[in-house]
Amino acid sequence: MANNTLRGLFWRRFKRNKLAVAGGVIVVLLFLVALLAPVISPYNPDNIDRRHILEAPGPDHPFGTDDLGRDVLSRMIFGSRISLAVGFVAVGISTLLGMIVGALSGYYGGWSDRIAMRFIDIMLSIPTFFLILAVIAFIGSSIWNIMAVIGLTSWMGVARLVRAEFLSLKEREFVLAARAVGASDLRIIFRHVMINSMAPVLVSAILGVAGAVLVESALSFLGIGVQPPTPSWGNILTLGKDNIEIAWWLSVFPGLAILITVLGYNLLGEGIRDSIDPRLWGRE
């Protein structure tokens, strides 16, 4: 009980929340799998083996083989890289953009704030998945395009969040003090206010990764996302749909991977939210 710093309190609360720890473990494992993919995958994911086409799971191929005789487990291990990369880059883009828009409109207010908020209302009324689908289909489905488009269509929530934090923080004494000693606007925005609004942003970013993973897999499943032969969980599921009558394993395992991944990010995000908020510390 000696460690009563903010970080110590956070850790104590976080560790007590078993679900949050489980989420953290899932995310760490996912990183390890993606990092060690060439080492741990039993086969080369692109190795076509025409003698073992659509083989059910067995000792040689624990998750079976696909329509070209490629090992599904190995393809899924390499697919984790796509899911990880798309999730983090897309959320990086949306969080950065959201923070900038939110900070500027919250701090300065006035006309630019009104225009930005109206723009956000408009963006939120466009059926986003329709827009993402159209744009990716038009500009081509490279992994960079997918990351960029998901990122550019999902920053609005963060912007609103950061704006609200700025509105409530900018009149506080520590900001007035910083201004009194002559700190520039940029310094106040980034060194003083932004730092204090990072907690909710972090939580929404982690939950955002889960959302991005789902969108990427849906796009790949529809054939508009990551293109074969590059393996992604979504495009293995497409094969599952094409061979639905004969090869259940192509549908079951990649979907399970998506489910566990998204569950991991969600549990971690919610766990951090519960442990990071000092207002919740007194309860229970």
Binding site for other proteins (CB under 8 A): 118-119, 121-131, 133-135, 137-139, 210, 214, 217-218, 221-222, 224, 237, 240-241, 244-245, 248, 251-252, 255, 258-260, 262-263, 266-267
Nearer to other proteins, 196 or 228 (CB): 228
The two structure tokens encoding residue 7: 């970080």
How near is the Cβ of 97 to other proteins at its closest, in Å? 15
Nearer to other proteins, 202 or 222 (CB): 222
Nearer to other proteins, 25 or 176 (CB): 25
Nearer to other proteins, 60 or 67 (CB): 67
Nearer to other proteins, 171 or 245 (CB): 245
Residue 43's φ and ψ, nearest 5 degrees, are -130, 170
How near is the Cβ of 8 to other proteins at its closest, in Å? 27
Q: Which of 273, 275, 266, 270 is nearest to 27 (CA)?
A: 266
How near is the Cβ of 125 to other proteins at its closest, in Å? 5
How near is the Cβ of 202 to other proteins at its closest, in Å? 19
Residue 65's φ and ψ, nearest 5 degrees, are -125, 160
Distance CA 262, CA 248 (A): 22
Under 8 Å between Cβ of 66 and 54: yes
How near is the Cβ of 159 to other proteins at its closest, in Å? 16
Nearer to other proteins, 84 or 133 (CB): 133
Residue 187's φ and ψ, nearest 5 degrees, are -65, -40
Nearer to other proteins, 5 or 125 (CB): 125
How near is the Cβ of 227 to other proteins at its closest, in Å? 14
How near is the Cβ of 44 to other proteins at its closest, in Å? 26
The two structure tokens encoding residue 99: 């923070």
Residue 246, CA distances (Å) to 120, 215, 255 in order: 46, 27, 17
Nearer to other proteins, 230 or 243 (CB): 243
Instruction: Give me the torsion for CA of 221, 222, 227, 228, rounded to 10°.
Output: 60
Q: Which of 205, 130, 213, 115 is nearest to 162 (CA)?
A: 205
Under 8 Å between Cβ of 45 and 70: yes
CB neighbour burial string for 65-85, b if at least 16 within 10 angstroms, e if fewer: bbebbbbbbbbbbbbbbbbbb
How near is the Cβ of 58 to other proteins at its closest, in Å? 19
DSSP class of 65: B
